[in-house]
Amino acid sequence: MRRETAYKLAGRHHDHPAPGTGIEKAREIRFKPLPPGQVERAWLALRVLKDLHVERTPDPLCLRVRYSVLDYSLETLEDALREAGYALDNTLYSKLVRALVYFCEETQRHNLISPERLIKQSHEVYIQAWDQHAHGDHDDTPVDLREYK
């Protein structure tokens, strides 16, 4: 195998045809109806964060945020809002979606930060482990006892 092919196979490609699968995320943060005016205050608070784009939606209890998963995660944004006193939607559906998004973003961040490894190097680990084990025709029985006479 040529060196370029090994690097290509080991490399990470970020051309994702499905929306939302790249490192740029667009998520919705849903709020409870009470206390009134919290969505507007949250919109003003989130706008000052660098590289975070906040948009209003037709739903008056929802904000749409766009960010890079390398800079932010939905979990950190929602935790910061909760600590600031905002009441987020806690319906079962929201909790399930939230848990899935948290897991996916955490896994994606971990995979992006972890160092790449070449296929050739990963096989060397198995080769070295194989060499340490007794295998093949190895037999402690003396040769004269192994031969059929």
Give the residue with greater pLDDT, 76 vs 148.
76
- In this prediction, residues 11-16 reach a mean pLDDT of 54
Closest CA to 25 of 57, 79, 64, 59: 64
Handedness of CA 61, 63, 64, 69 (dihedral sign): negative
- Which residue has 């029985």 as its token pair? 141
Give residue 141's pLDDT: 77
Amino acid at 87: A
Whole-number Å distance between alpha carbons of 105 and 120: 29
Q: Is the pLDDT of residue 106 over 90?
A: yes
Q: Are 53 and 112 in contact (CB under 8 A)?
A: no
Amino acid at 49: L
Give residue 90's pLDDT: 96
Q: Are 57 and 64 in contact (CB under 8 A)?
A: yes
pTM (2 decimals)? 0.68
Q: Is the pLDDT of residue 19 over 90?
A: no
Query: Residue 7: CB partners within 8 Å, gap ≥ 6?
Result: 118
- In this prediction, residues 57-68 reach a mean pLDDT of 96
Band (118; pLDDT cuts 50, 70, 90) = low
